[in-house]
Amino acid sequence: MPSRKRDQKVATTEHARDNGRELPWAVVYYLTPEGAAPALEFLDACPSTIDAQFTAVLDAVAAAPPPRFSGGGKWEAMHGAMGGWYEIRLTGPGREQFRLFCLLENGTSGEIAKRGLPRPAIAVITGMRKPWRTTFSDRDYKRVRDLGTEHQRNYPRRLAT
């Protein structure tokens, strides 16, 4: 009997194909219960060149999603309390640090459909920025995780459109 892991892989592959061509994953933006899209608000407030670089990384990863190497070294799996999350790490003018926090929407075709998604996706949850050589606090990361938890509670997902 095939393992569950194998089932997931097959289902995801089936879901991501169209006429034999593998489709890129979708990129979606979390919407809060109040109707805000934290990631879009963050991107809109970034310098234009940083916004462009975030978009280029998202497009590269969507075209060749995990577990493949993708994103030019700017896309990273997080660890510890942020396990299960991915971040895009960019350096801006004055070495300011920009981070975009994402979750993967993958699994069996049934699970993805239950979330209302037509195919696997990168869910962009929120972003943060900080001066060079400073760190985000535990509270900052908890805020990110809380948004992710809220996002994952929704069936179907609540997305910015």
Partner 1 sequence: MDSQMLDVSLHERRRTRRLEDPEYRAAYEQAAREIAQTDAVIRALDALRIDLGVSKAELARRVNRNASSVRRLFTAGQVRPELPLIAAMADALGAELRVVPRTPQARRAVGEHPRQRRVAINA
Q: Which residues in this chain contact partner 1 in the complex, by CB under 8 A?
A: 26-29, 40, 48-49, 51-53, 55-61, 64, 66-77, 89, 113, 116-119, 121, 156-157, 159-161
Q: Measured from the CB atom, is 74 or 141 closer to partner 1?
A: 74
Q: Measured from the CB atom, is 76 or 146 closer to partner 1?
A: 76
| Angle subtended at Cα 82 by Cα 79 and Cα 85, rounded to the nearest 5 degrees | 90
Q: Measured from the CB atom, is 1 or 17 closer to partner 1?
A: 17
Q: What is the DSSP letter of 1?
A: -
Distance CA 4, CA 117 (A): 21
Quote the least distance from Cβ 141 to partner 1, whole Å.
Answer: 17
Quote the least distance from Cβ 149 to partner 1, whole Å.
Answer: 19
Residue 11's CB is within 10 A of a number of other CB atoms, namely 18
Asked if 78 and 85 count as a contact pair (C-beta separation under 8 A), the reply is: yes
Quote the least distance from Cβ 116 to partner 1, whole Å.
Answer: 4
Quote the least distance from Cβ 135 to partner 1, whole Å.
Answer: 16
Q: Cβ contacts of residue 39 below 8 Å, gap of 6+?
A: 29, 30, 100, 101, 124, 125, 126, 127
